[in-house]
């Protein structure tokens, strides 16, 4: 059986899709007053913080806001609304566990399941009637939502989910504090109407009822907490009612005797807002109130937050009339407003959201590379200061780039995740303070890309994870195993690069080198020390670059990899690209709580972020080398675009216009999408890097047994 893992719920892709769902539904603020717009202002930081809190087990749900809706017939309907951050996390978890739950649910259940609808439930009723099921048990559960037993529910959940992290979250959400004016209390039973995960948990709780009735050869149609049992005789209906009462007792629920009845189609009854009588079915006035007619008793709602009514789906805000349907059920009907559906509405769910199943991630088309949608936002938004004399300042909520006292660029501060300063550019104190407060790292490099240092904030480090990292770094066997996986990733991706070039340049050098790298991969497992492993890596790199040299024009003067200083234009681009790649990964390591200085493949030495060097290896060929060879072979850059050394010991560097073109090409590459070879999900390269960083963190913590490098196919 497929397993649901907490790590699946916390991937960047899943969290962003969960956020999109929450934002699309335009729900109201919770008890913390944070609106969707406020959460969106620092979306990446908020999602990262949320993920870190869950990973380090410091996450606690914030109190839910109690909203009382007056019923026209008297009494109140109580909804509890989670905060935006909690709705995002609940939605992310729901997306991961829903397939497991769906596999258990019965065909007689129609409410808030993808591919199922009110129409289908009504059509099922009419079909059963035509087959001779004329007696109906019209059942109502007394205070269903408020009566769900937490212990029983968690037992049911535990049969489907084994991941301790997911179970802990669900249990926390069940026992969340509720704020009702000046009163605060904890839910000891019941599921909060208004939370995104409530529909799934509620359907699971009643699945026992569904199974038992079906096992007794009874025909049932259930839509949330409203259900009918259809029988061919009154005696069978009475037996079904007695069995139902017993089964609900096992669930610690009771029937509402005032609203439960045994009825014949000739007498008529109403279900899901439709009146059934004889062979007819038509819309009637609903017993449940129209939400538009109800006052909102949330005194906390102000100009800074969305009202509860505005937080409802579009169909709820503007109202939607039920059309009449004939005996064949061929016309449409909208969802009725039952107690469960009101709760789902408050959770920003609508029946149209479940009209068709989403395509599973593992069945998505897997092209080698493609563009992401135009509204796709890069994971790390980088501000480059490339011109000498540029000054970065801050005014209000915007970062301002000036050149010779003239403003050349203005960027909303919330749209920057890292800053790379090349050469003699300057940063004002105000801009620097803002970056430190917002944890935006500032990398200082020479005009040619030589790294000077990083300005980063002092913050409370995730010491538990880093303690594990340090302990693992002292474990020789662990280091060798992890380093071997990283080297395997580098060599395998380098071999792929050779094979791709061989399709364009069918030379013996490329095929020979590809075979040599294949042979090296076969011998990696025999390495008994890190030095031996590094020897394999070095020999593979030498063969790799010598073979690639045969694909470029001799005017480039490139014959092998030369690092410090680069002696030709291709080496200059490789060094420059590796530097930019290195600090992208450095930022991801820092943001995920790992210490970039302590690695497993590269030796620990003062001032060298060894872990960042480790993580770069598997991405060199598929990111930087691919960009360099594309620019060279398409003649987008030529040897004339470089400044060559005039004296011995000097290096070759990109001219300013070439540097800008190269950065643009590299950014396009980093933001292009591929199918991640392990997860199968469509991610851009930066998110692939983040996926690997998260995976490494799981390996360090012992959650994942083995590190799998990202190897393209």
Burial level of 437, CB count in 10 A (0-12/13-18/19+)? exposed
3-state DSSP assignment of residue 81: strand
Return all residues near 58 (Cβ < 8 A) that are at least 6 apart.
Answer: none
Cis peptide before 565 (omega within 30 of 0): yes
What are the φ/ψ torsions at residue 369 (nearest 5 degrees)? -160, 145
Place of tokens 């003239």: 406
Return all residues near 255 (Cβ < 8 A) that are at least 6 apart.
Answer: 139, 140, 141, 142, 244, 245, 248
Distance of alpha carbon 96 from alpha carbon 364, whole angstroms: 16
642-643 vs 682-684, strand pairing mode: unpaired
Helix (H) / strand (E) containing 137: strand 135-140
pLDDT score, position 432:
85
Distance of alpha carbon 565 from alpha carbon 713, whole angstroms: 33
Distance of alpha carbon 339 from alpha carbon 394, whole angstroms: 51
Place of tokens 């396009």: 668
Torsion-angle region of 74 (φ positive above 0: left; ψ -120 to 50: alpha; else: beta): left
Q: Which two tokens stand for residue 535?
A: 């020897």
pLDDT score, position 447:
61
Are 617 and 487 in contact, with CB atoms under 8 Å apart? yes
DSSP conformation class of 325:
B
Distance of alpha carbon 536 from alpha carbon 657, whole angstroms: 38
Q: Which two tokens stand for residue 583?
A: 């600090």
Long-range CB pairs of 600-605, under 8 A, 24+ apart, other chains included: 600/472, 600/473, 600/478, 600/479, 600/482, 600/483, 600/486, 601/479, 601/482, 601/483, 601/486, 601/487, 601/530, 601/533, 601/534, 604/473
Return all residues near 374 (Cβ < 8 A) that are at least 6 apart.
Answer: none
Distance of alpha carbon 323 from alpha carbon 42, whole angstroms: 44
177-180 vs 64-70, strand pairing mode: parallel
Distance of alpha carbon 523 from alpha carbon 517, whole angstroms: 10
Helix (H) / strand (E) containing 138: strand 135-140
Return all residues near 674 (Cβ < 8 A) that are at least 6 apart.
Answer: 367, 368, 369, 370, 682, 683, 684, 685, 688, 712
Place of tokens 């904890």: 186
3-state DSSP assignment of residue 597: coil
Helix (H) / strand (E) containing 537: helix 530-549
Residue-wise burial string across 449-458, b where 16 or more C-beta atoms lie within 10 A, e elsewhere: bbeeebebee
Helix (H) / strand (E) containing 275: strand 274-277
Q: Which two tokens stand for residue 396?
A: 């209000």
Between the alpha carbon of residue 503 and those of residues 314, 317, 506, 660, the distances in Å are: 53, 58, 6, 30
pLDDT score, position 471:
92
pLDDT score, position 351:
37
pLDDT score, position 542:
92
Identify the bridge partners of residue 177 per DSSP, sorted by sequence position.
186
Distance of alpha carbon 280 from alpha carbon 126, whole angstroms: 9
Identify the bridge partners of residue 444 per DSSP, sorted by sequence position.
421, 453
Distance of alpha carbon 477 from alpha carbon 25, whole angstroms: 50
Q: Is the pTM of this model over 0.95?
A: no
Alpha-carbon dihedral sign for residues 587, 591, 596, 600: negative
Write the pLDDT tens digit of every residue in 469-527.
999 999 999 999 999 999 999 999 999 999 998 888 778 889 999 999 999 999 888 89
3-state DSSP assignment of residue 425: coil
CB neighbourhood size of 208 (10 A)? 15
Q: Which two tokens stand for residue 236?
A: 């069978």
Are 400 and 407 in contact, with CB atoms under 8 Å apart? yes
In 71-230, which ranges are continuous DSSP H helix? 84-104, 118-130, 144-147, 150-160, 164-174, 198-215
pLDDT score, position 430:
84
Write the pLDDT tens digit of every residue in 114-168.
888 888 888 899 899 989 999 999 998 988 888 999 999 999 999 999 999 999 9
Ranges of the chain whose pLDDT falls below 50: 1, 285-376, 460
Angle (nearest 5°) at CA 165 between 160 and 166: 40
DSSP conformation class of 289:
P
Between the alpha carbon of residue 444 and those of residues 273, 418, 452, 597, the distances in Å are: 66, 11, 5, 17
78 alpha-carbon distance from chain centroid: 31
Nearest to 520 by CA among 546, 487, 496, 547: 487
pLDDT score, position 193:
82
Helix (H) / strand (E) containing 681: none
Between the alpha carbon of residue 261 and those of residues 124, 255, 264, the distances in Å are: 20, 10, 10
Alpha-carbon dihedral sign for residues 293, 299, 302, 308: negative
Q: Which two tokens stand for residue 54?
A: 């869950």
């Amino acid at each position: 059986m497929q397993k649901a893992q907490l790590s699946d719920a916390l991937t960047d892709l899943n969290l962003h899709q969960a956020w999109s769902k929450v934002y699309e539904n335009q729900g109201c603020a919770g008890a913390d007053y944070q609106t969707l717009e406020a959460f969106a202002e620092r979306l990446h930081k908020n999602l990262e913080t949320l993920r870190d809190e869950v990973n380090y087990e410091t996450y606690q749900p914030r109190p839910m806001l109690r909203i009382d809706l007056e019923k026209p017939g008297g009494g109140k309907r109580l909804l509890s609304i989670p905060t935006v951050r909690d709705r995002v996390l609940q939605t992310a978890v729901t997306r991961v566990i829903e397939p497991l739950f769906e596999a258990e649910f019965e065909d007689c259940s129609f409410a808030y399941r993808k591919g199922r609808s009110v129409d289908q439930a009504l059509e099922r009723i009419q079909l059963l009637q035509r087959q001779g099921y004329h007696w109906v048990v019209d059942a109502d559960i007394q205070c269903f939502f408020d009566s769900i037993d937490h212990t029983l529910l968690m037992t049911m959940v535990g049969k489907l989910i084994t991941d301790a992290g997911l179970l802990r979250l669900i249990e926390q959400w069940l026992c969340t504090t509720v704020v009702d004016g000046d009163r605060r209390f904890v839910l000891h039973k019941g599921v909060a109407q208004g939370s995104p995960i409530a529909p799934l948990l509620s359907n699971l709780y009643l699945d026992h009822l569904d199974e038992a009735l079906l096992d007794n050869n009874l025909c049932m149609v259930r839509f949330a907490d409203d259900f009918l049992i259809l029988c061919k005789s009154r005696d069978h209906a009475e037996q079904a009612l007695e069995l139902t009462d017993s089964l609900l007792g096992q669930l610690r629920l009771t029937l509402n005797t005032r609203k439960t009845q045994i009825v014949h189609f000739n007498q008529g009854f109403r279900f899901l807002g439709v009146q059934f009588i004889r062979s007819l079915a038509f819309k009637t006035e609903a017993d449940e109130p129209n939400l538009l007619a109800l006052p909102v008793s949330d005194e906390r709602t102000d100009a800074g937050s969305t009202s509860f009514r505005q937080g409802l789906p579009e169909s709820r805000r503007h109202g939607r009339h039920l059309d009449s349907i004939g005996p064949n059920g061929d016309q449409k009907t909208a969802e009725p407003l039952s107690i469960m559906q009101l709760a789902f509405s408050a959770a920003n769910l609508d029946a149209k959201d479940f009209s068709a199943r989403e395509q599973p991630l593992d069945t998505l088309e897997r092209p080698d590379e493609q563009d992401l949608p135009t509204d796709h936002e890069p994971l790390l938004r980088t501000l480059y200061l490339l011109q000498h004399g540029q000054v970065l300042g801050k005014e209000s909520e915007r970062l301002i780039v000036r050149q010779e006292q003239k403003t050349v660029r203005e960027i909303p501060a919330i749209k920057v995740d890292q800053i790379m300063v090349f050469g003699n550019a300057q940063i004002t104190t105000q801009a620097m303070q803002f970056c430190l407060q917002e944890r935006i790292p500032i990398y200082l490099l020479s005009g040619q890309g030589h790294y000077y240092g990083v300005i980063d904030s002092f913050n409370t480090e995730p010491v538990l994870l880093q303690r594990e990292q340090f302990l693992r770094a002292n474990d020789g066997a662990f280091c060798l195993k992890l380093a071997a996986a990283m080297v395997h990733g580098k060599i395998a991706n380098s071999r792929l690069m050779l094979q791709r070039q061989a399709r364009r340049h069918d030379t013996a050098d490329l095929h020979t080198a590809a075979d040599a790298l294949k042979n090296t991969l076969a011998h990696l497992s025999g390495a008994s020390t890190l030095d031996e492993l590094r020897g394999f890596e070095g020999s593979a790199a030498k063969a790799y670059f010598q073979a690639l040299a045969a694909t470029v024009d001799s005017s480039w003067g490139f014959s092998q990899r030369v690092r410090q200083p680069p002696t030709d234009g291709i080496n200059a681009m490789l060094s420059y690209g590796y530097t930019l790649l290195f600090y992208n990964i450095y930022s991801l390591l820092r943001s995920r709580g790992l210490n970039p200085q302590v690695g497993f493949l590269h030796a620990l030495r003062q001032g060298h972020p060894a872990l960042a060097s480790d993580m770069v290896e598997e991405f060199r060929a598929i990111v930087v080398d691919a960009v360099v060879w594309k620019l060279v072979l398409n003649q987008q850059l030529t040897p004339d675009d470089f400044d060559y050394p005039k004296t011995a010991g000097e290096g070759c560097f990109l001219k300013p216009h070439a540097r800008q073109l190269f950065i643009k090409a590299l950014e396009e590459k980093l933001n292009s999408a591929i199918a991640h070879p392990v997860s199968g999900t469509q991610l851009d390269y930066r998110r692939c890097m983040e996926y690997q960083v998260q995976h490494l963190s799981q390996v360090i913590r012992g959650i994942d047994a083995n590190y799998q490098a990202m190897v393209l196919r």
